[in-house]
Structure 1
Amino acid sequence: MKIQSAVGQPVSRLEGKLKVTGAAKYAAEYDVPDLLYGYVVHATITKGRITRLDTGAAKALQGVVDVITHENRPEVASADLKYIDMDAPPGLVFKPLTDPEVRYNGQPVALVLAEDFETARYASGLVEVEYETQAFETCLDHNLDNAREPGKGFSTMLKPPPPKPTGNFEQAFRDSPFKVDAEFRHGSEHHNPMELFATTTVYEGDGKLTIYDKTQGTVNNQLFVANVFGLRYEDVRVLAPFVGGAFGSGLRPQYQLYLSVMAALHLKRNVRVVLSRKQMFPFPHRPQSYQRLRFAADANGSLTAMNHRAISETSQFEDYAEVVAEWSHKLYPSPNTLFEYKLVSLDLYTPMDMRAPGGATALHAIECTMDELAYEAGIDPLEFRLRNYAETDPSTGKPFTSKALRECYMRAAEQFGWKERNPEPGSMVRGNKLVGYGMATGIWDAYQFPARTEVIITGEGKMIVNSAVTDIGTGTLTVMTQVAADELGLPIEDVTFSYGDSKKPFSMFQGGSAMTASTGVAIVVAVKALKKKLLKKAKSIAGSPFDRAGNDDVAFKYGHMFLRKQPSVSVSFAEIVAANGGKPVKTTNMGAPHVLKLRKYTKSSHSAAFVEVEVDKDLKTITVTRAVSAVAAGRIVNPKTARSQIAGSMVWGISKALHEESILDENLGKYMNANLGEYHIPVHADINELEVIFADERDDLINELGVKGVGEIGLVAMPAAIANAVFHATGRRIRELPIHFDKLL
């Protein structure tokens, strides 16, 4: 029997049936006895102070057990800590019910606890709160002059400042024959994952907790809870085997976790807190941003000058920063550059990472500016990018570990039919529709985090792989199973990947398109160690034919170890375990980035997006009729799940370009469309033909698997490609997202 290599095969989701049948349990679905339900009461002002808080009527309601506020909050939390989770930006992590100060609209001011959810929700309306209000600022545009450098006296943690200027930008820009000076504005966008934020805390006694949480990082939340509440790490267990979407919103512990744990410790009861869709709107959002780009080119179409200035919002208590201005010079070479990134502190909650944070914001502005400059120079937009193609990283001079962007351009353009494009804006018509073609480039860093995995060979000769990593719907369970199966020559059905549990070996949170590289590499390292251990155990068997064999002399297939030169000489894994006294053979190992080797290189994935839009001549409504994305992301472990990731990101790109926006009333300081009826996201009727192409990119340097992430890279180029297609169809440059039909009237 020949076992087909699992890596590279389009394996369907191993947990798919559990999800579509409803058998998969999410954070708010676990059957827990003696359960209390918490419901959050929110501030109705944007900034000020609570002057009166009356919980009497709520407490008098039958079924209500307690109402916790800043006035009676149990003294279980530690003193103010700063970096208490792995994704916390510089500043002071917000913890609700700490004091009477109101810092943003929708801030929790009370937690009602009752024997059932309906009673808790009803009682929340009986809590009376009076405030002393203060003046506030929530509009970025009104405060651009107050922009400052990030930091507040701290480093910006993993978010480097923009590159230093090169050459003489102002003079080069002034002297160049072709130039563009453009401003771009993005409003807020809010995370709206299918699964609401929820925490079920099971009080085990003696300060021990089992927590089911909607999170991207079980270990991160374990650290948060232990740090804040002064508990021993080993007494806090966080489980998240199924996560109903996250993509940044679950990187940081959300406040329902804090409130659920606080109530459970205080009342010594099991407590569940679930946020409604509306309650989620104050916090998990992409920040408002302003960008000004000034690009120039010479008579041959070569870039001569690039200035990228970006200003984004942050809260008054943390400095959330993104990588925005840096992307210009990672993509394109120019001798004269000037990059700036600043923050404005507003009376809003701290923004959070949202798929392709910083990149999706930056690439829209960069690629629209490149498109406009190509038109100024009279050069085809694709040809213009090829003339400015960088074989090495222009910002550092370092070579890329691999870069197949040129192949992405060529294959996507051919598949899309770019050569059929008439370059004249408004010249292509289909019935009553103006047709536009647009394209854009994408880039994203290829991250890898340290990770540990445990691998075990059982008495049946099968393998169990343990990791604390979560699967937010990206296919991690399936892909990790494929990697493990291949590494030990087992069929997929003989491998169990057990995950989503903080008690298992360490994993960072799932984010940054880094998990296949991080956890996958840890599996490779652990299985290599396991092979050595299996050989050592086999040598200890009396009369073993492996007595003189070295690690390179043996191979592993079909649940057996055999001599390469004598395949008929073998021993099964089950026999090795039996000879080990029936004890499973196991090992735990760390996989980590090759920091020293890779510091000489730039690690990036690349993409090219080509889009066709139709714009109704009369109504000006915009439809993306088809799109092609070509992606260079190293080795593709599972083409099926990888394509799903790219296609999903393309949908998100359509949403960002044409649909999603959080409407912030600057006079009230609150978001006005805090529901899925008014916060528009694409539906089936909005999505048409999407095609995904993977470039043949081999990367022998980046990690043991040769993989890069396939999440963010599918999103970053799409909004710009759509905006460029709208220009080609209409002749109008719209530099504010989303693009609504009224902007074309």
Structure 2
Amino acid sequence: MTTPTTTTTSTAVTGAVGASYTRVEGRDKVTGAARYAGEIPFAELAHGWVVLSTIARGRISSVESDAVREMPGVLAVLHHGTAPRVDSDYISMLGPPDPIVEVFQHDRVPFVGWPVALVVAETSEQAREAAEALVVKYEAEPHDVAFSAAHPDTYIPDGDNHQMAKGDLDAELAASAHVVDEEYSTPEEHHSSMEPHAAMARWDAGRLEVVDSNQGSTWVADELAKLFSLDPASVRVRSEHVGGAFGSKGVRVHQILAVMAATVLDRPVRVVLTRRQLFSLTGYRSPTAQRVRLGADADGRLRAVGHQAHSLTSKVHEFVEGSAGFGRPMYASDAHHSVNRVVRLDVPTPTFMRAPGEAPGSFALESALDELAERTGLDPIALRARNEPDVGPVSGLPFGSRNLVACFEEGARRFGWADRDPRPGLRREGRWLIGTGTAAATFPVLAMPSTAAVTAEADGTFTVRITAADVGTGARTALTLIAADALEVAQDRVHVRIGDSDFGPAAISGGSMGTRSWGWAVTAAVRELREQLALGGDIPPQGITVRSDTSEYVFALAQKERHSYGAQFAEVAVDVTTGEVRVRRMLGIFAAGRIVNPLTARSQLVGGMTWGLSMALHEEAVRDQATGGHVGADFAGYHFAANADVPHIEADWVDDPDADDPVGIKGIGEIGIVGAAAAIANAVWHATGVRHRSLPIRPDRVLDAAGARDA
């Protein structure tokens, strides 16, 4: 087992950035002083409980609420006949809103788990009891929830990113000495975070206040203002502590319902979603069916890369899991073709989930690369290095910095890859077959315009205000270190306040762009503040405050291929009698720009790799074709990696400077999961000699595959 080591970064640490610090709010969290959205007390607080549809398609014929209204503590029953009206004709930062924001605006039911009523009562227990007693009748219609690549209604979505082609794919495949043409699949997956989705809404002197758990308070405030036709200045959303999000905590139905109920009752109302309700109300990762075609010369040089990916979306809103885009920046090839196809079904709308597109796309392409390495007789790392591009393989743009090969070189050294016998099924320890595998990772470097305010206080401290969201990544701590270095002061003189829409617009926590975008805005504000302080004079009691806005700079970024990269390694043991797969160790080496806080950075990367292990071996949401709903929509029926499943995981990084990048921070929240499942699947092949192209690699699938091989 590999022993943990310090980072491989060679850059000298001269300030706070680059040194390890515990979270500034860590003590509050472990002692319970940090309050989350679902537990902050409010005077006269009422509680709402959501009632969900039990049919997959049709309409509501009646909501029989009279008896429920007479139950103890019940204050109101909201549904399509009694709820306030909203205006959903607007464009959000992500485009047209999901029509789920039109909650209680009509009698149509588009999927199982659609909100049909909200019962509000004095206590959550009373609200739940009344909600479970509420009778809702429906007129059901035939539904279709069966996903497959062969579905007759698949289509290519509009937009430039869903279909790209360079060269003649069929001609290059025909001219190739080695061809891989295989199909891969991943199941529906869910990102139910530890903290449930919760929101409290109240009116205070004509202003709407929402205390929420979200990934961007500005985002939520802006959409609530548009939905309820309010002046944006009259809406305030606060989200101080967030217990996980992973793409699921944007604008969701519980926030809207809390505002509706608070408006009707003129008192604070909190709505907290249950674990089962998350499975239909907060998004998920679509299942995928992918076909990868690779063609290479006898020496392993790629001539053709073809990647076709199918996913599903709901019939009320389009969301595309862009899996086919993963390989576009990865490998040089004469022909590159990729296309994403979608089918509309009577299911909830999918959404962003940690490394959307890249996570399932990397499983397919990086598994296919391993199959090509087997056929060409090349080491999998050597095959990837042989096809390293000089410029973007599809875009033709120059790379900002690209250190994928360096990741593989360092990872191979640390993992002991040179000692590996490439032949499968040879290494055995008792009843366990042992194998090792590897895969590449990448994730784009993104940024959003942000504003920040920095105040020089009269007592010699500095206050930073920015509408950032710390969803567990350590954003507060990272911004404290960035501000301290920019101010050239000790970090204990910097106080960072986040999660309040009153602080002004800022990037969401998503797309691995939070720290990059927020840090840029903070640094810009500090630069201007220092210029003012350099003029001399006393600081007044109210302090000296400057505000930055990076909009102009973000939109003027040079057009380059900017990505984080990584090399994933895994060792597995496969029980030949039970089919059990155990991951014994994992190593990830990444190139992710400037690392602000190694302690929290490593935590993020290990967390992503752990999720990749769970993706490879455990996670699979199953939908009942007869009812259209989930089988086992809870943490008992939806399996994911537990402590005993997670082995020694080591995450580290290589030096990755980008001289032309104005920030240098690339983001690490998502790249840890990318390629991890493929590395494990490739290790299972090395252990057993059998390929698994469908996730998860369950024991029954291992046994079935072994039986088919031996038959």
The TM-score, its normalising length taken from structure 1, stands at: 0.91
**Which of these residues, 83, 89, 93, is aligned with residue 81 of structure 1?**
89
Question: Cα offset for 1:73?
Answer: 1.6
- Give the conservation status (yes or no) of the 8 Å contact 1:56–1:127: no
Corresponding position of 2:68: 58
Question: C-alpha separation between the residues in 2 aligned to 1:82 and 1:54?
Answer: 33
| 1:622 equivalenced with 2:623 (yes/no) | no
**Which of these residues, 645, 648, 652, is aligned with residue 693 of structure 1?**
652
Indicate the RMSD between aligned Cα atoms, in angstroms.
1.6
| Deviation string, structure 1 residues 383-423 (Cα, Å, up to 9, x no partner) | 11111112321111222111111110000011001111111
Corresponding position of 2:260: 262
Question: C-alpha separation between the residues in 1 aligned to 2:46 and 2:468?
Answer: 29
**Which of these residues, 119, 130, 133, is aligned with residue 126 of structure 1?**
133
- Give the conservation status (yes or no) of the 8 Å contact 1:518–1:592: no
Q: Secondary structure at the match of 1:354?
A: coil
Corresponding position of 1:139: 146
| 1:178 equivalenced with 2:185 (yes/no) | no
Question: Cα offset for 1:4?
Answer: 6.2
**Which of these residues, 7, 12, 18, is aligned with residue 17 of structure 2?**
7
Q: Secondary structure at the match of 2:54?
A: coil
- Give the conservation status (yes or no) of the 8 Å contact 2:199–2:254: yes
- Give the conservation status (yes or no) of the 8 Å contact 1:201–1:209: yes
| Deviation string, structure 1 residues 74-110 (Cα, Å, up to 9, x no partner) | 34x22x3242x32345774542111111011011111
Corresponding position of 1:480: 479
Question: C-alpha separation between the residues in 2 aligned to 1:670 and 1:281?
Answer: 10
| Aligned 1:585-600 pairs, distance under 5 A | 585-592=544-551, 594=553, 598-600=557-559
Corresponding position of 1:732: 690
Corresponding position of 2:10: none
Amino acid in structure 2 at the alignment position of 1:103: P
Question: Cα offset for 1:266?
Answer: 1.4
- Give the conservation status (yes or no) of the 8 Å contact 1:661–1:680: yes
Corresponding position of 1:160: 161
| Deviation string, structure 1 residues 144-186 (Cα, Å, up to 9, x no partner) | 33111214xxxx5xx72332x2222112212312111111111
Corresponding position of 1:68: 78
Amino acid in structure 1 at the alignment position of 2:667: G
Corresponding position of 2:287: 288
Corresponding position of 1:102: 109
Question: C-alpha separation between the residues in 1 aligned to 2:596 and 2:558?
Answer: 25
Amino acid in structure 2 at the alignment position of 1:273: V
- Give the conservation status (yes or no) of the 8 Å contact 2:617–2:695: yes
Question: Cα offset for 1:668?
Answer: 1.4
Amino acid in structure 1 at the alignment position of 2:156: E
Corresponding position of 1:656: 615
Question: C-alpha separation between the residues in 2 aligned to 1:382 and 1:593?
Answer: 41
- Give the conservation status (yes or no) of the 8 Å contact 1:412–1:628: yes
Amino acid in structure 2 at the alignment position of 1:490: V
Q: Percent same amino acid among aligned pairs?
A: 37
Question: C-alpha separation between the residues in 1 aligned to 2:416 and 2:464?
Answer: 45
Question: Cα offset for 1:271?
Answer: 0.2
- Give the conservation status (yes or no) of the 8 Å contact 2:309–2:322: no
- Give the conservation status (yes or no) of the 8 Å contact 2:143–2:628: yes
Q: Secondary structure at the match of 2:305?
A: strand
For this pair of structures, how many residues does the alignment match? 690
| Deviation string, structure 1 residues 622-659 (Cα, Å, up to 9, x no partner) | 01100110000111111111000100000010011111
Q: Secondary structure at the match of 1:385?
A: helix
| Deviation string, structure 1 residues 665-715 (Cα, Å, up to 9, x no partner) | 1221111121111111111111111111211111122223x1100111111
**Which of these residues, 656, 673, 680, is aligned with residue 639 of structure 2?**
680
| Aligned 1:323-342 pairs, distance under 5 A | 323-342=322-341
Amino acid in structure 2 at the alignment position of 1:218: S
Q: Secondary structure at the match of 1:295?
A: strand
Question: C-alpha separation between the residues in 2 aligned to 1:6 and 1:166?
Answer: 45
Corresponding position of 2:383: 384
Question: C-alpha separation between the residues in 1 aligned to 2:527 and 2:98?
Answer: 42
Question: C-alpha separation between the residues in 2 aligned to 1:642 and 1:45?
Answer: 44
Q: 1:438 to 1:593 in 2, by over 3 A?
A: farther
| Deviation string, structure 1 residues 575-630 (Cα, Å, up to 9, x no partner) | x31xxx44411100112474576444111010000100000121110011001100
Question: Cα offset for 1:337?
Answer: 2.4
Question: C-alpha separation between the residues in 2 aligned to 1:662 and 1:110?
Answer: 26
Question: C-alpha separation between the residues in 2 aligned to 1:205 and 1:53?
Answer: 34
| Aligned 1:341-740 pairs, distance under 5 A | 341-536=340-535, 538=536, 541=537, 576-577=538-539, 581-592=540-551, 594=553, 598-704=557-663, 706-740=664-698
- Give the conservation status (yes or no) of the 8 Å contact 1:454–1:466: yes
- Give the conservation status (yes or no) of the 8 Å contact 1:179–1:295: yes
- Give the conservation status (yes or no) of the 8 Å contact 1:217–1:510: yes
Unaligned runs of 5+ residues in structure 1 are 542-575
- Give the conservation status (yes or no) of the 8 Å contact 1:225–1:258: yes
Q: Secondary structure at the match of 1:331?
A: coil
Corresponding position of 1:150: 157
Corresponding position of 1:545: none
Question: C-alpha separation between the residues in 1 aligned to 2:429 and 2:324?
Answer: 38
Question: C-alpha separation between the residues in 1 aligned to 2:145 and 2:101?
Answer: 18
Amino acid in structure 2 at the alignment position of 1:68: L
Question: C-alpha separation between the residues in 1 aligned to 2:556 and 2:518?
Answer: 20
Question: C-alpha separation between the residues in 2 aligned to 1:19 and 1:120?
Answer: 29
- Give the conservation status (yes or no) of the 8 Å contact 1:605–1:708: yes
| Deviation string, structure 1 residues 455-508 (Cα, Å, up to 9, x no partner) | 000011110000011100000000000000011111111000000000012212
Question: C-alpha separation between the residues in 1 aligned to 2:311 and 2:45?
Answer: 42
Question: C-alpha separation between the residues in 1 aligned to 2:220 and 2:665?
Answer: 27
Q: 1:392 to 1:453 in 2, by over 3 A?
A: same
Question: C-alpha separation between the residues in 2 aligned to 1:214 and 1:143?
Answer: 39
- Give the conservation status (yes or no) of the 8 Å contact 1:205–1:268: no
Amino acid in structure 2 at the alignment position of 1:133: A
Amino acid in structure 2 at the alignment position of 1:602: E
| Deviation string, structure 1 residues 210-253 (Cα, Å, up to 9, x no partner) | 11111101001101111111111111111101000001011x21
Q: 1:356 to 1:669 in 2, by over 3 A?
A: same
- Give the conservation status (yes or no) of the 8 Å contact 1:455–1:527: yes
| Deviation string, structure 1 residues 307-361 (Cα, Å, up to 9, x no partner) | 1111111111111123322222310111122221111111111101000000001
Question: C-alpha separation between the residues in 2 aligned to 1:450 and 1:334?
Answer: 35
Max Rg structure: 1
**Which of these residues, 256, 271, 274, is aligned with residue 273 of structure 1?**
271
Question: C-alpha separation between the residues in 2 aligned to 1:583 and 1:63?
Answer: 47
Question: C-alpha separation between the residues in 2 aligned to 1:529 and 1:654?
Answer: 45
Question: C-alpha separation between the residues in 1 aligned to 2:192 and 2:351?
Answer: 13
| Aligned 1:200-219 pairs, distance under 5 A | 200-206=200-206, 208-219=207-218
Question: C-alpha separation between the residues in 1 aligned to 2:555 and 2:255?
Answer: 38
Corresponding position of 2:6: none
Question: C-alpha separation between the residues in 2 aligned to 1:597 and 1:424?
Answer: 50
Question: C-alpha separation between the residues in 2 aligned to 1:593 and 1:711?
Answer: 25
Q: Secondary structure at the match of 1:272?
A: strand
Q: Secondary structure at the match of 1:523?
A: helix
- Give the conservation status (yes or no) of the 8 Å contact 1:82–1:92: no
Question: Cα offset for 1:71?
Answer: 1.3
Corresponding position of 1:47: 57
| Deviation string, structure 1 residues 29-65 (Cα, Å, up to 9, x no partner) | 1110111110011110000111122011211112111
Question: C-alpha separation between the residues in 2 aligned to 1:96 and 1:132?
Answer: 18
Q: Secondary structure at the match of 1:330?
A: coil
| Deviation string, structure 1 residues 104-144 (Cα, Å, up to 9, x no partner) | 10111110011111111000122111111111111211753
The TM-score, its normalising length taken from structure 2, stands at: 0.95
| 1:37 equivalenced with 2:47 (yes/no) | yes
Question: C-alpha separation between the residues in 2 aligned to 1:438 and 1:588?
Answer: 49
